[in-house]
């Protein structure tokens, strides 16, 4: 029996040495140390031994069982260590690699300029109002005193949705909506999209305007001049030269276009300002009595001024952009610059 035990120890030690996985070790444990294994059989045979030999062999058997269990555990630990090292080597992470920067969005230049314009007028007490882009002829033309045969109603400039419905060609329609809905005094700016059938380096079929208007009793042209001067100085620079040039719009009388001194040639004349030294930036005027009549206001009681500017044009002048299409191509290299 002693020989049996020692041979078993020898056999198991050998088998353990060649085991390479946890599962193999589990199998060995059941095979040799389990309830149906040889060790159990040997221990069961103890009762047939002469009385005096039992304690000695019993001791030996227990000792061997303990030793084998210990060996098995050691082997298991070694296999797990090796497994861990192999994994670590395979899954190497290079912690010296620089991290990937999160891509951050930027505001579109038109958003930046629009917000800047809004902030300037809010500083002068104007509130922001929006109006519809799909519009009745009445709000886009008729109530703004466009005569029936005015060229701006021509099919070439205006996108018609139906006989009486257009895509608004300017933000001036917001004047009519606001006046019809409210009682003066009020001062409003209305930024938004407008549409004209026109496309080249300085014209886009969809572009943005900002409309402004103020209605009250006793409004004067000098107040219009004051508000627009503050606006241009805040938007461009405090010493920008300004020129109010007589002009014509159906919905204002008198009307004026506002020019700023050409920032490129400083007034001497260049390609950007077509040799004039001036750059036109907005249209304006005193609201026409016919417009007041169209919305049911008494033109003897109320007076007001209005103005409208193209946002792309202002952004192009501010940032020195020479092609309007750049705003709508969404090229990251362009957009990231603002």
Chain residues that interact with ligand DAH, rule: CB under 6 A: 170, 172, 211, 249, 252, 283-285, 306-308
Nearer to ligand DAH, 39 or 282 (CB): 282
How far is 69 from 30, CA to CA, in rounded Å?
11
Minimum gap (Å) between residue 211 Cβ and ligand DAH: 5
Nearer to ligand DAH, 16 or 286 (CB): 286
* Among 278, 284, 276, CA closest to 309: 284
How far is 8 from 27, CA to CA, in rounded Å?
16
Minimum gap (Å) between residue 251 Cβ and ligand DAH: 6
How far is 193 from 291, CA to CA, in rounded Å?
22
- Which residue has the closest beta carbon to ligand DAH? 308
Minimum gap (Å) between residue 105 Cβ and ligand DAH: 31
Nearer to ligand DAH, 65 or 196 (CB): 196
Minimum gap (Å) between residue 267 Cβ and ligand DAH: 24
Nearer to ligand DAH, 135 or 211 (CB): 211
Minimum gap (Å) between residue 324 Cβ and ligand DAH: 15
Nearer to ligand DAH, 204 or 284 (CB): 284
């Amino acid at each position: 029996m002693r020989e049996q035990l020692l041979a078993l120890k020898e056999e198991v030690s050998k088998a353990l040495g060649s085991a390479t996985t946890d599962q193999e070790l589990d199998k060995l444990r059941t095979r040799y140390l389990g309830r149906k294994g040889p060790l159990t059989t040997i221990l069961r045979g103890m009762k047939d031994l002469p009385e005096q030999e039992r304690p000695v062999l019993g001791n030996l058997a227990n000792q061997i069982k303990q030793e084998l269990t210990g060996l098995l555990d050691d082997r298991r630990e070694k296999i797990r260590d090796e497994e861990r090292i192999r994994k670590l080597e395979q899954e190497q992470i290079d912690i010296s690699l620089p991290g990937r920067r999160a891509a951050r969005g930027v505001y579109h230049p038109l958003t930046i300029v629009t917000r800047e314009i809004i902030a300037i007028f809010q500083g002068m007490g104007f509130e922001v109002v929006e109006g519809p882009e799909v519009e009745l002829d009445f709000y886009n033309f008729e109530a703004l005193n466009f005569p029936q045969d005015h060229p701006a109603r021509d099919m070439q400039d205006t996108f018609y949705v139906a006989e009486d419905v257009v895509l608004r060609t300017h933000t001036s329609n917001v004047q009519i909506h606001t006046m019809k809905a409210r009682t003066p005094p009020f001062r409003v700016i209305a930024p938004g999209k407008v549409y004209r059938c026109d496309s080249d380096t300085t014209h886009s079929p969809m572009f943005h305007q900002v409309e402004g208007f103020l209605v009250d009793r006793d409004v004067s042209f000098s107040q219009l001049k004051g508000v627009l001067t503050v606006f241009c100085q805040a938007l461009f620079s405090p010493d920008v030269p300004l020129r109010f040039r007589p002009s014509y719009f159906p919905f204002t009388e008198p009307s004026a276009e506002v020019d700023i001194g050409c920032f490129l040639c400083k007034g001497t004349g260049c390609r950007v300002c077509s040799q004039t030294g001036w750059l036109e930036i907005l249209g304006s005027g005193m609201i026409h009595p016919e417009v007041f009549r169209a919305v049911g206001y008494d033109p003897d009681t109320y007076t007001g001024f209005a103005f409208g500017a193209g946002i792309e044009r202002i952004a192009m002048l501010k940032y020195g952009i020479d092609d309007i299409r750049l705003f709508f191509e969404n090229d990251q290299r362009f957009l990231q610059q603002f």
